[in-house]
Every structure is written in structure tokens, then in C-alpha cells.
Amino acid sequence: MKLSIPKDYKPILDVNQTEQAIKQIKDFFQLNLASELRLRRVTAPLFVKKGTGINDNLNGVERPVSFPMKDLNEDVAEIVQSLAKWKRMALANLGIKDGFGLYTDMNAIRPDEELTNIHSLYVDQWDWERVITAEDRNLDFLKYIVKKIYSAMVRTEYHICETYLDIFPELPEEITFLHTEELAAKYPDLTPFERETEEVKKHGAIFVIGIGGEMPNGEIHDGRAPDYDDWSSATGNGFIGLNGDIIIWNSVLNRAFEISSMGIRVDKKALMKQLKIRDTEDRTELLWHKMLLNDEMPLTIGGGIGQSRLCMYFLKKAHIGEIQSSIWPDEMIKECKENDINLL
């Protein structure tokens, strides 16, 4: 069990106020996100059919929850791990045009998660995806979209602070852009997480570009599946990667706090290149991958934004279990209760 107890922690809002505030944050943020990115809300699946390539396999080692379907000849369904690839199919099916997109509530179960203050078996996020053109597949456009998302975050924080006067805003007005290769060169003796910590502590909010591809020093900053984000294309200045993470400084836990993973998605060329790098070229026989290679899906940019994490940050909570109802080890429940951390 990895549990961090902040010194002298006292929740600002009680359980009833917290429940009300969670709804306010979710309602306000998703409307602002949709407005900034021109997104339409859609209904999403809780599970998809195994063997289609639609489910997100994350880093390739996490086990999806699965079950047989009696009325479908015992074919197996998998609880989604994210909707990274499903959204692109939905854009094609709905005929959504360039410059517009969709968002949805994604609810997932990840049984292999290590349970901590910020990791739960239950994952909830806003999954979003927007149609782009071939000309948009560049670093400047990625930064443009990141700034729009960050603007919605800043606006939401201010709205909550105006509603609950004992909560004070902490996000800087602007987000700072950094590349994984820059961080590796600047902090060669630190781990990727330690590098992020050093920079976000200084800036308050950063977007770390280029996650998944091998850097010149041979490292991979963090794992990414080969078939949704484009982490192998050149971005200029010798850097690679058209994806990244939004990370903010969490003053309650005194640590870097990832809010969103996102990126420009693979086109046919990047897909084949990345499948080869990860030795997963057999995926070209799956339904989703065939559709992409046959030009049956649009070029897109997309990502996920953690709902419970965003609420946890804005409400100055020490544990994600103060925002969502999940299952925790008995020892963690006991220690949280002893330290005024009210798990739902």
C-alpha cells in the first residue's frame, strides 16, 4: 500500500458539500471544454468485443476485465480501458466534419492499478476526439489545442473558488511547454517522473511533449500504445512526438499531478512505423486497424481528462477516494479515517 498523508490535513468541504461541488465542477468544465474545442456530447460503450482492436491496451501489460456473452455464442466482451480508439470510429460513423468533434464520459475498470492517493481501480474521464486535416498534424496545432483545454481548466478553477471562498486558485494563467528530450538533457540523473516534478514545481502547469518514443539517450519517458498517439513523427528542432501530458503541481500532496494524456493520432504511415517498433504488426489484421489503413476513419487529435483527478485538485483533496466511490485495502481505509480523509 502506498498512501501519503499530508501533514495537518483537514478537508475544506464536508462530504455533502463535496458531492455538490463535484457536480458543479463536472457540469461547468465539460460545457467549457465542449465550447473551446467545438465538441458534441455522445453516448459511449462500457464494453467492446474482444479481438476487434477497439479497446485501448494502454502499455500492453494491463489485463482488461472480460466476460462471455451468452446470447452471442459465448463471444468475449472487454470492459474498456479507455476510448482512445473507439472515438475515432464514432467520428467516422457520425460523419463529423473537420474542426469539430465529440466528448463522452468514459468509465473503466483497471484491476492492475497500484492503489495510491491518486490511483483507483475505477477510472473516470472525459474522453474527447476532434477531426483535423493533414496540415494540422504538427506541433503548433497540438499546442493550440492544449491551450484551449488549459483555458477551460483555469476558468473552472476560478468558478469553484468564487463559489467556495475557502478555496483559493493556484493554476498559473499560462501553461509551459517542455519536451521529454529537453528534460532528459537537463536532468540526466533523474527519472522521468522526477524531471516532471522539478519543472512543474517551478512553473505550476506544464505540457510534456513526446511520450512513448525512444529518446537519443535510449530512454522512453513513459509507455504509450503504438496505435493511437503519434509518438514517432518528427516535430522540428530534432524532437519527436506529437503527443503529451498536462501536468500540474498539487500543493496538497506536494507532487506532480497528471490531469490529461492526449495527442495527434496516428495516420497510416505512423501506425505502421509504430507497430513495427513495438513488434505488433499482427494488429493490422484487426478490425480497427484495417479501417484506418483503408482510409475509413478521419485524421484526429484526442485525449482523456481525469474527472476525479480534476475534482480532487480543485477541491484540495488528499485522496481520490474523497471524490469517487471505489474499493480500497482495509489498512488504507483505517489510516485515512484516522487522518480526516473521508473516503466515499
Cell numbers 502547469: residue: 205
pTM (2 d.p.) = 0.91
User: DSSP string covering 5-41, please?
Assistant: --TT---SS-HHHHHHHHHHHHHHHHHHHHHHHTEEE
For residue 10, the model assigns a pLDDT of 93
For residue 53, the model assigns a pLDDT of 77
314, three cell numbers: 480543485
pLDDT score of 94 more than 80:
yes
Cell numbers 457540469: residue: 27
Quote the CA–CA distance of 230 and 273 in Å, as a whole number. Answer: 10
Contact 205, 248 (CB under 8 A): yes
Q: Which CATH number fits domain 15-338: 3.40.50.720, 3.30.470.20, 1.10.150.650, 3.30.930.10?
A: 3.30.930.10
Stretch 290-294: mean pLDDT: 93
For residue 196, the model assigns a pLDDT of 95
For residue 1, the model assigns a pLDDT of 56
Amino acid occupying residue 218: G
pLDDT band for position 267 (50/70/90)? Answer: very high
CA neighbor of 67 nearest in space, from 48, 52, 42: 48
Q: How far is CA 15 from CA 7, 119, 225, 327, 335, in A?
A: 20, 20, 38, 18, 18
Chain-centroid distance, C-alpha 79: 17
pLDDT band for position 58 (50/70/90)? Answer: low
For residue 263, the model assigns a pLDDT of 95
Contact 315, 167 (CB under 8 A): yes
CA neighbor of 244 nearest in space, from 154, 149, 170, 309: 149
DSSP state for residue 215 in the 8-state scheme? P
> Strands 101-109 and 176-179, how do they pair?
unpaired
More confident: 149 or 4: 149
Quote the CA–CA distance of 195 and 218 in Å, as a whole number. Answer: 16
For residue 336, the model assigns a pLDDT of 92
Continuous H helices in the chain: 15-37, 86-94, 139-163, 180-186, 192-203, 268-277, 287-293, 307-314, 330-338
pLDDT score of 257 more than 90:
yes
For residue 64, the model assigns a pLDDT of 81
Would you name the residues annotated as active-site residues? Answer: 56, 110, 125, 245, 258, 261
pLDDT tens-digit map of 139-184: 999 999 999 999 999 999 999 999 999 999 999 999 999 999 999 9
